[in-house]
Structure 1
Amino acid sequence: MKRLMLFVVLACISMAAIELYIAPNYLVKSICKLLLYLLVPYLYIRFVAHLSFKDIFSFKMKYMQLPIILASGVAIIILSAYWIIGGFFDFSNVTVMLKDNMAVNKSNFLFVAIYIALVNSLLEEFFFRGFAFLALLKMTTRRIAYLFSAGVFALYHVAMMTDWFSIYLFVLILFSLFVAGLLFNKLDEKADSILPSWLVHISANISINLIGMMLFGVI
């Protein structure tokens, strides 16, 4: 248990260091993330615990009905929240940080958005739910597995969002990510698969990317 948690924390710290101190463009950052979030679980599975991860991709329709409803609800909530309270917060720094720190701009944002919605979301679900939750759940209590997975999922985004928002909006987003992590864990625990949370994650990312397209003037 402790070794798995250590592997997860080291991977997150390494990714945070890349985000904060190397600050590569989005392509390089994505390659680093793919390597870390796939290699670390592989090393743990291969040399430490000898686990199998085939089952976490299993599709069980009876466990997908609630995620489908939640995915629709999440999209409505995110877009509605932006239209209702967006005028009270300054989002101009988001596009500036994306341009300056990640070389993401109006011309390539659509390609980045597709990658984030489909590939990046699956990578995060595999790492934070498949590895840091479902695998951990077999070794420790539900409380520890839930809090650890949701906590590292939320804190991982700290480095990514540094200086993007005001402190109040930043805390609100961080809390929302933690709650989302708990919800994702619950969905996946029932199905013993990461597909339910991945569906909701895709919906959330698409909604956020639509807001990004508005900020960049793509739509």
Structure 2
Amino acid sequence: MKKYFVIISTILSCLFLFFIEQNIGASYIVKTITKIILFTLVPYIYFRFYKKQSIKKALNLSGTTKKHFSLGMIFGVLAFVIVLLAYFILRSYIDIAAISYEMQTKSKITPANFILVGAYITFGNSFLEEFFFRGYVFLNLYEMGYPKIAYIFSALAFALYHLAIFRTWFDLPVMILALFGLISVGIVFNWLDTKSKNFINSWILHILADSAIILIGMKMFEII
């Protein structure tokens, strides 16, 4: 029952966020608030009524050591470099002007507020995604004794969740490559979190990867 609750609630949450992103033209603030509610309420219901534990205890947030911190930093720096290299290699296939236009008209993200939005994405949104996809989905399924399902399902959910964001940004080949990259990254995130039994490792990696993306965004908006 616990396994099915985690899987079904994750699928429904991602589908609802896809609908919000692609069909109602909501602003970035509305989408962010919706995501915060879903990605905190669903795990709270699970931990409170199914696991009957506090979120802090269930997620083992005190389990990170200096060794694990270093591991997250090493992979994070590597991810930072890979993201920037991928951008410079593939930039001729990416319609930067179209992405900028969509972000400003659809999500109301402009050069004036991009720094604030970028700070939230780097630290707040990355924490929220790691809390949900790794702390709630992966580690729960993994500790239930379903390691293969945990790895595959959480990585796929993480990748498809991002599809709602960049579905209209790239041509099909680049989009497939991006999805493959996200699935691979999700598996690495999962593996890192098995070392500390919490999601802090992957959060550190996520922060550094997002930092590279924000740098690209700043260049796109001609901030740098």
Instruction: Using structure 2 for the length normalisation, give the TM-score.
Output: 0.93
Please tell me whether the aligned partners of residues 56 and 130 of structure 1 are also in contact (alpha carbons under 8 angstroms): no
Equivalent in 48, 51, 67 of residue 72 of structure 2: 67
Instruction: Spell out the pairing of 1:178-217 with structure 2 (5 A cutoff).
Output: 178-217=183-222
- Partner amino acid, structure 2, of 1:218: I
Equivalent in 23, 39, 42 of residue 41 of structure 2: 39
CA RMSD of aligned residues (A): 1.3
Map of 1:19 onto structure 2: 21
Shift of 1:66: 2.0
- Partner amino acid, structure 2, of 1:4: V
Give the gaps of 5 or more residues in structure 2.
none
Map of 2:158 onto structure 1: 153
Whole-Å Cα distance in 1 between the matches of residues 173 and 160 of structure 2?
A: 16
Equivalent in 9, 12, 21 of residue 10 of structure 1: 12
What secondary structure does 2:106 align onto? helix
Whole-Å Cα distance in 1 between the matches of residues 196 and 124 of structure 2?
A: 21
- Partner amino acid, structure 1, of 2:80: A
Give the gaps of 5 or more residues in structure 1.
none
Map of 2:61 onto structure 1: 57
Equivalent in 112, 115, 127 of residue 117 of structure 2: 112
Whole-Å Cα distance in 1 between the matches of residues 201 and 17 of structure 2?
A: 25
Aligned length, in residue pairs? 219
Equivalent in 143, 148, 163 of residue 148 of structure 2: 143
Whole-Å Cα distance in 2 between the matches of residues 134 and 97 of structure 1?
A: 35
Whole-Å Cα distance in 2 between the matches of residues 38 and 2 of structure 1?
A: 18
Larger CA deviation: 112-121 vs 82-91? 82-91
Larger CA deviation: 152-161 vs 132-141? 132-141
Larger CA deviation: 103-112 vs 15-24? 15-24
- Partner amino acid, structure 2, of 1:186: W
Distance 1:56 1:125, change over 3 A: farther
